[in-house]
């Protein structure tokens, strides 16, 4: 059983910033996310796309925003359960909650903060009739452990950043990498497209466009795929793994069955006070919530996280009074023993 003060469902920007605000209040956090790494959409869908409305950053790449947030919360030592989806929630007699993931990992906390963005992300699967038969048997929709592909033949399908970036990365890991896309043009970062072109010219990536994978072959494990290339008869490619990277579709998922008030696939909250749901002790912050005037912006999620943590502190420590101090005055004390503070003024007389 993993125990913490605030259990955060979702490790996107809002969930990560919650760790910082909670840390200032001496509250520990643990985060659950279905994706294999922190950052939510910023890491998985558009890591190389710029964001222009983060305060003090005229422009910052989504992936860099995630890195900065991880650096900012490092001294508060958050825990992570990644690659698992929050499945069920049970309220205990003492008022705490036990949240269990789809893989059976249990977490207990007096406060649950749902910061799941647009929900849990499910992979968009290609319309291949027998593909479900090979899931976890050579068909993977997300790459969690690159070493799984060491010295293997790999076929990747897709035309976005994920397909490009993983094709580049796996050239140093896999025995062979084949990238298949239904168009000649790719929608990804220019430097990634140019890198794939370079690796293709060097013979390190087998690029097939325009083409689509129409069938997966094998018995107990993938042994090949059938490719339909424009202007040619379908043909087979031997491979150990087929990785279709067609993006992720957001779904509220099992959270929709937690007894929370839902409106248009979002969780209704009390925005006049603390972003608490209709269940006391469960909050919803960021894109996953809704209230009059709601804006689905990262900076709004940061604001909601800040107010939510103040309310969480009162719930966890009802007999304590918290006096807010600006970080410029009080500094920041990490759970790892580190301290950040402004340089102290030098007291010296002027002769």
336 is known to lie in a ligand binding site: no
The answer to whether 186 is annotated as binding is no
Is 18 annotated to bind ligand?
A: no
Q: Is there a binding annotation on residue 328?
A: yes
Structure-block tokens of residue 175: 């025995």
Contacts of 180 (CB under 8 A, 6+ apart): 155, 156, 157, 208, 209, 211, 212, 213, 227
DSSP structural state of residue 97 = E
- Residue 287 labelled as part of a binding site: yes
Q: Is 46 annotated as a binding residue?
A: yes
- 215 bridge partner residues: 226
- Alpha-carbon distance 275 to 305, whole Å? 9
List phi, psi (to 5°) of 83: 70, 20
Q: Is 121 annotated as a binding residue?
A: yes
Known binding residue 41? Answer is yes
Tell me the binding residues for FAD: 14, 33, 41, 46, 86, 121, 287, 328
Tell me the binding residues: 14, 33, 41, 46, 86, 121, 287, 328
């Amino acid at each position: 059983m993993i125990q913490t003060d605030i259990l955060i469902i979702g490790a996107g920007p809002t969930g990560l910033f919650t760790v910082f605000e909670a840390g200032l209040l001496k509250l520990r956090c643990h985060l659950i996310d279905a994706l294999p790494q922190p950052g939510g959409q910023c890491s998985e869908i558009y890591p190389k796309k710029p964001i222009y409305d983060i305060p003090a950053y005229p422009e910052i790449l989504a992936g860099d925003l995630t890195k900065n947030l991880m650096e900012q919360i490092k001294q508060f030592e958050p825990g992570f359960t990644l690659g698992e989806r929050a499945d069920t929630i049970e309220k205990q007699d003492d008022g705490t909650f036990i949240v269990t993931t789809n893989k059976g990992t249990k977490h207990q906390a007096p406060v649950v903060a749902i910061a799941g963005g647009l929900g849990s992300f499910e992979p968009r699967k290609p319309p291949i009739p027998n593909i479900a038969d090979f899931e976890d048997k050579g068909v993977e929709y997300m790459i969690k452990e690159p070493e799984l592909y060491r010295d293997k033949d790999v076929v990747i399908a897709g035309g976005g950043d994920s397909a490009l970036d993983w094709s580049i990365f796996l050239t140093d890991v896999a025995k062979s990498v084949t990238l298949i896309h239904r168009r000649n043009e790719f929608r990804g970062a220019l430097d990634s497209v140019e890198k794939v072109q370079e690796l293709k010219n060097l013979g390190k990536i087998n690029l097939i466009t325009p083409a689509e994978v129409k069938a997966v072959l094998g018995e107990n494990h993938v042994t090949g795929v059938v490719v339909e290339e424009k202007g040619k008869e379908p043909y087979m490619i031997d491979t150990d793994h087929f990785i279709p990277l067609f993006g992720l579709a957001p779904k509220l998922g099992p959270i929709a069955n937690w007894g929370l008030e839902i409106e248009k696939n979002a969780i209704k909250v009390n925005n006049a006070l603390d972003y608490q749901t209709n269940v006391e002790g469960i909050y919803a912050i960021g894109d996953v919530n809704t209230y009059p005037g709601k804006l689905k912006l990262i900076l709004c999620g940061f604001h909601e996280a800040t107010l939510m943590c103040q309310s969480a502190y009162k719930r966890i420590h009802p007999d304590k009074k918290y006096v807010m101090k600006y970080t410029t005055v009080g500094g920041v004390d990490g759970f790892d023993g580190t301290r950040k503070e402004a340089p102290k003024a030098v007291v010296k007389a002027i002769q």
